[in-house]
Amino acid sequence: MGKEEPYIRLWRELFEKSLGWESSDTWSEYDFEKLSEIIFSKTNTRLSLSTLKRLWGKVQYKSTPTIATLNVLAHALDLEDWRAFKKRMDENSFEGKRSAHEIRSSYMIYRRPLLTTMVVVCAGLMILFITKLFKTSVNTNKYDAMKEVFESRVVSDQMPNSVVFNYDASTDPANEIYLQQSWDPKRTEKLDKNKKQHTSVYYYPGYFNAKLVADGQVRKTTSVFIKTAGWMEIIDKSPTPIYVNTDSTKLPDGLGIKSQTFIKLKGSSVLNDSWVHLYNFRYFEGVSGHDLNFESTLRNTSAPEQSSCRKASVEIVGTENEISIPLSDKGCIATLNLSLGRVTIDGKDHDLSAFGCDFNSFQHLSCSIQNSHIKISLNDRVVYSGLIAQDIGKIVGIGIGFEGAGEIKSIKLGNRQKIIYQQDFRKQTIQ
């Protein structure tokens, strides 16, 4: 991270102290999700998980963060900008000007004046901790994580759907108990420790690993599987999405939505950042993240004046994670993100130009995984090939989205031995 590295280390140290969490060496995916939310609440700017992991050295990355990112870090410590943060650190750490070599060691100098104070504070905290531990030892000894209950039940086979969560956290020593409905930390609700049930509405189908979280620590997880009866089409809209009538999804060349229909339902002739998704969620027996063959022929049918980038996305969803493959007009590839399980490849600092399309014609996309190696091809040309770090589990869903209007001509899903699911939407036939 170049000349900014000592300052970034100082920032990390100060921010970790403000959090009061355990060592960052033990942080999980959930901790980085929560960290992103904390920084967003303080700065009104969201840093991605990949950016945060780079800052904490969880992902190897040699380039210096952008000044915009560095300014957000400074804002998180209530300073005007990164320049103000560096000036504050220099004033605290130096007497007069120092050499560049000394600046690289500034974080060590910064710590020395605090050493005595830290020893005193740590001793005081240790006394308080021992006192609290003694006072609460009786209650703590009663806690048995195995007895903590967390289960879910889906109440319908239609959308939207409600899920009933049965839980028992009455003996948990934590001060606060939360339900995190999915991977998205924004979908978190506080629970009453003295109650036993909580219900949540799910507006989208999918396979969700809900979590019972106590004082920031995941106690239990339960799977929530919201299935579909075949294909269903949903237009994103806050706070409640729009469910498209099945008759409107059947087009002469495939399955999708016309621009006129989208505009009518959305209430706007401009469809930038307006997405429609087609979902099929069920168990695709025999297909998994280590033995996968997928193909689809699709296109975004929006006019350029309706959707500037005419993006599309293909999601292959597993019980553990998902693969999300982005497409767009060639001029917008810098806005794309390729997600391969827990790894995200950002178009801002990676060349994803091979995922640029000419949507005047249908695009044929394929994805295969064998022996932890993934290969993605567009129109029979390999656009990405490499190892995939995570097995996304058993395949339980397909999602195809369009920014604006779009249509799917065909889908094929299977493993190396056979085709498990195949459909040609022009003929409306299923194999």
Q: What is the C-alpha to C-alpha distance for residues 181 and 9, in angstroms, rounded to an integer?
A: 33
The residues near 267 (Cβ < 8 Å, ≥ 6 apart) are none
Q: Tens of pLDDT along 132-155?
A: 554 444 444 456 666 788 999 999
Q: Tens of pLDDT along 281-328?
A: 999 999 999 999 999 999 999 999 999 999 999 999 999 889 999 999
Q: What is the CB neighbour count within 10 angstroms for residue 154?
A: 14
Mean of the pLDDT values across residues 17-26?
79
Q: What is the C-alpha to C-alpha distance for residues 106 and 55, in angstroms, rounded to an integer?
A: 18
The residues near 273 (Cβ < 8 Å, ≥ 6 apart) are 403
Mean of the pLDDT values across residues 72-89?
88
Please, what are the domains in the chain? 2-115 (no CATH), 145-226 (2.60.40), 232-430 (2.60.120.200)
pLDDT band at 217 (very low <50, low <70, confident <90, very high): confident
Residue of 275 and 115 predicted with greater confidence: 275
- Pairing type for strands 363-370 and 291-300 reads antiparallel
Q: What pLDDT sits at residue 365?
A: 97
- SS3 letters for 356-390? EECCCCCEEEEEEEECCEEEEEECCEEEEEEECCC
Q: What is the C-alpha to C-alpha distance for residues 11 and 4, in angstroms, rounded to an integer?
A: 10
Q: What pLDDT sits at residue 97?
A: 43
pLDDT band at 96 (very low <50, low <70, confident <90, very high): very low
Nearest to residue 411, comparing CAs of 347, 348, 364? 364
Mean pLDDT of the chain: 84
Mean of the pLDDT values across residues 104-118?
48
Between 61-65, 123-127, 140-144, the lowest mean confidence (pLDDT) is in 140-144
Nearest to residue 1, comparing CAs of 52, 61, 50? 61
Q: What pLDDT sits at residue 47?
A: 84
The position carrying tokens 């690289």 is: 104
Asked whether residue 110 carries a pLDDT value surpassing 80, the answer given is no
Q: What pLDDT sits at residue 98?
A: 42
Q: What pLDDT sits at residue 101?
A: 44
Between 37-46, 229-238, 256-265, the lowest mean confidence (pLDDT) is in 37-46
Q: Tens of pLDDT along 392-422?
A: 999 999 999 999 999 999 999 999 999 999 9
Mean of the pLDDT values across residues 111-124?
53
- SS3 letters for the chain? CHHHHHHHHHHHHHHHHHHCCCCHHHCCHHHHHHHHHHHHHHHCCCCCHHHHHHHCCCCCCCCCCCHHHHHHHHHHCCCCCHHHHHHHHHHHHCCCCCCHHHHHCHHHHHHHHHHHHHHHHHHHHHHHHHHHHHHHHHHHHHCCHHHCEEEEEECCCCCCEEEEEEEECCCCCCCCEEEECCCCCCCEEEECCCCCEEEEEECCCEEEEEEEEECCEEEEEEEEEECCCCCEEEECCCCCCEECCHHHHEECCEEEECHHHHHHHHCCCCCCCCEEEEEEECCCCCCECCEEEEEEEEEECCCCCCCCCCCEEEEEEECCCEEEEEEEEHHHHHHCEEEECCEEEECCCCCCHHHEECCCCCEEEEEEEECCEEEEEECCEEEEEEECCCCCCEEEEEEEEEECCEEEEEEEEECCCCEEEEEECCCCEEC
Residue of 84 and 40 predicted with greater confidence: 84
Mean of the pLDDT values across residues 57-64?
74
Mean of the pLDDT values across residues 62-76?
85
Nearest to residue 287, comparing CAs of 386, 398, 377? 398
Asked whether residue 355 carries a pLDDT value surpassing 80, the answer given is yes
Nearest to residue 377, comparing CAs of 296, 278, 258, 279? 296
Q: What pLDDT sits at residue 144?
A: 66
pLDDT band at 49 (very low <50, low <70, confident <90, very high): confident
Mean of the pLDDT values across residues 227-244?
92
Rounded (10°) angle between helices 82-93 and 5-19: 90
- Pairing type for strands 337-340 and 322-329 reads antiparallel
Residue of 329 and 102 predicted with greater confidence: 329
Q: What is the C-alpha to C-alpha distance for residues 411 and 252, in angstroms, rounded to an integer?
A: 16
Q: What pLDDT sits at residue 102?
A: 43
Asked whether residue 125 carries a pLDDT value surpassing 70, the answer given is no
- Of the segments 4-8, 71-75, 155-159, 362-366, which one has the largest average pLDDT value? 362-366
Mean of the pLDDT values across residues 264-278?
90
